[in-house]
Chain A
Amino acid sequence: MSSPIPRALLYVGGTVACLLLIPPAAIAYIRSQSSPGRPVHLIWDMDNQAKYKAQEENPLFADGRAARPIVAGTVAMGEANLDTHFTEGVTGPSAEWATTLPAGLVADETFMRRGQERFNIYCSPCHGFAGFGDGMVNRRAMTLMNNSSGSVDNTSWTQAKNLHEDQIRAQPIGQIYHSLSYGIRTMAGYSAQIPTEDRWAIASYVKALQRSQNAAPQDIPPDRRTQVGSEEAATVASAAPSDQANRDGGHDRQGAVNQ
């Protein structure tokens, strides 16, 4: 007669089996959580090499930066540009605001689309996507400032400019370029964040935005007029396109935006 398996063995076996389920469960839990602690690094190999990567800390220098600032009075190779039309947006002996794009830049569709993209990234937070000065950051700042129990944390916000105001529309493109590059009033300059060509693209796009809000039906190219509502189409059917140079201060963008 065979004796049954001793209970003790069964209990021990069952307990061990259950205990073995704990590590996988623990791992599954760890996977589901985020943790502020440094990751466990088991095999170090060549993971941390004695080289300084971008923006790393270097304790040998007083300011702790591995990336050193540019030495004062030097210019990086390829960065020298003596064309003040290009870098500052001024032309002529008396450094007036430029009214045209600098040499080498053409306001074709690619350029304008680039300007649109860059405007949407860098300018729309304050100025809004259509340039009316109603961007999200602007709205938030105005809310903080006009808080009923006093400005939150001493916010003192100057409302972002509506780029379609007459005074801004009258500004030559060089002045727009200069304002966005080097700042104006409480707005900081973006020359460090945006390369020069892109800043000209943005300035061109600003001009296009301004044009878009102040255009007459005659400005629509003949081949696009059917897309306008039937009443306006009837009005402009026989009207000639207006003189572009008169409308936007002498820019030489020949219908580039409407192509």
Chain B
Amino acid sequence: MSRFLFPKWSNLLLPTLLLVGAIMPLYAVFFVAYGFSPKTLEVGYQPQQPVKFSHAMHAGQLGLDCRYCHNTVERSAYAAIPPTQTCMNCHTQIRKDSPLVAPVKESYETGKPIRWTKVHKLGDYAYFNHSAHVNRGVGCATCHGRIDRMDVVAQFSPLSMGWCLNCHRDPGPNLRPLNQITDMAFDPSVEMNAERQASLKDQFAIQPSEHCSTCHR
């Protein structure tokens, strides 16, 4: 009777299993790190809003400054969504019968607030102060992207702790002169050099804290 012998190719079984055993955990880790990072899950969130307000039209084509509507950004932690009155500064007259303006008009007449959907949700455990950043040379577009090209606002930055720390550890590349804060087209990588960044850093005495309670208050 012939004896069973494993075929020669079964010598490859153990090395293959070891290889797979080494790669699969890496694959799993990669999948979780890549797939579940805020850059995947949070960036690109573009909810539909109750009013089809287009930033591309107002901030882009009409060139309205961000601060025309978000006027609290320089003094407050919170960059307020404007009240209906701000919209009606113009829309009591401009396109007043447009169906796009109708929800705003209704809010104006009834006094009920427009229920905007918040896009940039930072966890409640973290504290962020807009005025501290805007008044020290961080431009709007640095974190929010080219809002003036968005018809519907989409989240541009992951707003993760690592992303915040990247800038806190090296704020230079994200700084710009104060008169360019709301200039969406200003590109620091083109317009700024290391020297100008360093001088801005000194001028504003920028020493971003990495202490936990800076943000976790």
* A23 to B48 CA separation, bound complex (whole angstroms): 28
* A46 to B123 CA separation, bound complex (whole angstroms): 8
1/0 per position for B166-194, CB-CB distance to A under 8 A?
Answer: 00000000000001000000000000000
Minimum CB–CB distance from B23 to chain A (whole Å) comes to 9
1/0 per position for B70-106, CB-CB distance to A under 8 A?
Answer: 0100000110110101101110111111100100000
**A23 engages B35 (CB within 8 Å):** yes
Contact residues, A71-124 vs B (CB, 8 A):
117, 120-122
Q: At the interface, is chain A mostly helix, strand, loop or mixed?
A: loop
**A20 engages B68 (CB within 8 Å):** no
Which B residues are CB-close (under 8 A) to A40? 36, 41
Contact residues, B27-47 vs A (CB, 8 A):
27, 30-31, 34-36, 39-47
Minimum CB–CB distance from A20 to chain B (whole Å) comes to 7
**A120 engages B27 (CB within 8 Å):** no
Which B residues are CB-close (under 8 A) to A49? 124-125
Q: B63 within 8 Å of A by Cβ? A: yes
Chain A residues touching B, range: 35 or more
The residue on B at minimum CB distance from A9 is: B9
**A121 engages B111 (CB within 8 Å):** no
**A153 engages B96 (CB within 8 Å):** yes
**A121 engages B67 (CB within 8 Å):** yes
Given contacts A3-B8, A3-B9, contact A27 B40 (CB under 8 A): yes
Which A residues are CB-close (under 8 A) to B78? 53-55
Which B residues are CB-close (under 8 A) to A20? 27
**A39 engages B41 (CB within 8 Å):** yes
**A156 engages B93 (CB within 8 Å):** yes
**B123 engages A154 (CB within 8 Å):** no
**A46 engages B68 (CB within 8 Å):** no
* A153 to B36 CA separation, bound complex (whole angstroms): 46
**A137 engages B9 (CB within 8 Å):** no
Q: B212 within 8 Å of A by Cβ? A: no
Given contacts A140-B62, A193-B71, contact A55 B7 (CB under 8 A): no
**B42 engages A3 (CB within 8 Å):** no
**B88 engages A188 (CB within 8 Å):** yes
B interface vs A, CB < 8 Å?
A: 7-9, 12, 27, 30-31, 34-36, 39-48, 61-65, 67-68, 71, 77-78, 80-81, 83, 85-86, 88-90, 92-98, 101, 111-113, 115, 121, 123-125, 154, 179
A interface vs B, CB < 8 Å?
A: 2-6, 20, 23-24, 27, 30-31, 33-36, 38-42, 45-49, 51, 53-55, 57, 63-65, 117, 120-122, 125, 136-137, 140-141, 144, 152-158, 186, 188, 190, 192-194
- List 20 A-B pairs, Cβ < 8 Å: A2-B7, A3-B7, A23-B35, A34-B154, A35-B45, A38-B47, A40-B36, A47-B123, A55-B78, A65-B113, A137-B64, A137-B94, A141-B94, A154-B97, A157-B93, A157-B94, A192-B85, A193-B68, A193-B86, A194-B71
